[in-house]
Structures are given as structure tokens and as C-alpha cells.
Amino acid sequence: MDGIYVKAGLEKEKAALLVVIGACSDGTKEVLAVECGHRESEASWSDILRDLKARGMNCPSLVMGDGHLGIWSALASVYPGAVEQRCWNHRMRNVLDRVGKKKQSTAKQLLSKVMYAATRREAEAAKRVFQEWARSEQYDRAATLLDEAIRPVGDWDRMIAYYEFPKEHWVHLRTTNVIESPFASVRLRTAASKRFKRVEGATTMIWKLLLVAQQTFRKINAPELLADVHAGIRCADGVFRVVQDGAPTDQQLLAA
């Protein structure tokens, strides 16, 4: 889930298009919603999620989004059982904004080690390394941002939620690039059109462009694992856990 801003309508501010793309059980990705919203408010996101629920969408196993509180508040209201994953790209940009330009490359390297750590413990250790470096460089605001508390879930917990899911899927779960990437070409078209007189016109064109882009969306890796994910089986550092009665999971049986 992500809000994309385009120059549309007669108002001075850009219009927010709220976009939802889902992954199906066969690993394909599908555009589920493209709606005009009021600056990504909780009410706008709630309307979209309630519509998806009315259309028959069950509670998603994991939802990726940026740091906008409207997304998480709406999700907690409509799909409280969904695990929340904070987009790393958005958060890294927030952190780098609090670091001097000359030090941003070093900061980005340290943050990448956190993002791509093989285990949750390694990620937490890499986070501490970054925070110690940031404080030594007098960037205290950057150091504390990763531990920012956003109710009802801490932001750090949102950032590392993907460790509860198969390692094969992590590349798809860390960021909202599934929305950001196709919008690169969409913005070329909206820029060429300068400014739409009506928000509805921009929404319609962007919806059509996304449907075309959908045909070339990359499939989810290891789609055979999605059934277990949807069944609620969680992972420890990307590997399915053993169930409580001691019976091995399907993945362990296959490995044996």
C-alpha cells in the first residue's frame, strides 16, 4: 500500500492516489485499487480497505507500507490480524535526511547492512553499529529514528517483520518498490500531460497504465510457500518453525 502524488486537479496541492497491489497464491501480483484520497488520511485508507473486504479479500498475511500513520491506523481497524512491514526505502530516506551530505554514503552503507542482515539478531547488532556511528558524528536524531515508537506497533518491529516470513520472499517484502517501480513510467506520462483538470482523469489514466504494467510484474519467488504463509505458519529468520506438537513442517519434510 502506498500513496502516490501527481499533479492533477485545479487545487494547488498535488492529489494523492492511494494504490494497493496484492500477491496471489500462485505468486502473481495484481493491482487491487487505485483511488483518489485526501492526503493519505486514515479515513481514505479505511474506505479502500473496507471496499476490498466487501469485494471478498481475506485478511492479508503481511502489508507493506510507508511511514504514514493513516495506513497503519486503517489497517488496525479493518484488518487487525495483518502483520505490518515498514518500507525500508522510505525509512532510509528519512534517516539520511538527518545526516550531513558528506556522510550520507557511509550512513547508507551501514543502514544497508541492517536491511540485508541474514537474521534478526544480526540486524539488531548492525542497527547498534549504525547508531553508535551516528552519535559519534553528532547525528543523534538519525540514531534515534530507527527506534521511533509508533503505536500500536513499534516502528523497529515493523521494519523487521519480514523475518517471520520465508527467506525466499524477503526481496519482495522489504520495500514498496512493487508500486514505486511501475510509477516511474507512469510519471513520464503524467509529466507529459502537464496537469490534469480533474483528479478523476489522472486516476483513470494511471489505473490503465498500471494494468498494462501488471502484465510484466515480477512473480513472487517460491510461490509454493505461499499456502503455508496464508495458513498462518510463521518463520524464525526466514525458516518455517516446527509446530508445537513437535511435528515437522512441510518444508522440513521436503528437505528430509
pLDDT at 180 over 80: no
Separation of alpha carbons 164 and 90, rounded Å? 21
Give the chain as a DSSP string: -EEEEE-BSSSSSPEEEEEEEEE-TTS-EEEEEEEEESTT-HHHHHHHHHHHHHTTPPPPSEEEE-S-HHHHHHHHHH-TTSEEEE-HHHHHHHHHTTS-GGGHHHHHHHHHHHHT-SSHHHHHHHHHHHHHHHHHTT-HHHHHHTT---TTS-HHHHHTGGGGS-GGGHHHHS--HHHHHHHHHHHHHHHHT--BSSHHHHHHHHHHHHHHHHTTPPPPSSGGGHHHHHTT--EETTEEPPPTTSPPPHHHHHH-
**pLDDT for res 195:** 54
Does the residue 202 lie in any domain? yes
What is the number of structural domains in the chain?
1
Would you put residue 232 in left (φ > 0), alpha (ψ -120 to 50) or beta? left
Does the residue 223 lie in any domain? yes
pLDDT one-digit tens code per residue, 75-128: 999 999 999 999 999 899 999 999 999 999 999 999 999 999 999 999 999 999
What percent of the chain is predicted at pLDDT more than 90? 56
Does the residue 215 lie in any domain? yes
pLDDT one-digit tens code per residue, 130-171: 999 999 999 999 999 988 766 556 689 999 999 999 999 999
What predicted TM-score, i.e. pTM, was given to this entire model? 0.83
Would you put residue 40 in left (φ > 0), alpha (ψ -120 to 50) or beta? left
Does the residue 146 lie in any domain? no
34 versus 248: which is more confidently predicted?
34
The range of the structural domain enclosing residue 56 comes to 2-86+152-255
Separation of alpha carbons 15 and 199, rounded Å? 7
Place of cell 501488471: 214
Does the residue 18 lie in any domain? yes
Does the residue 232 lie in any domain? yes
pLDDT at 13 over 80: no
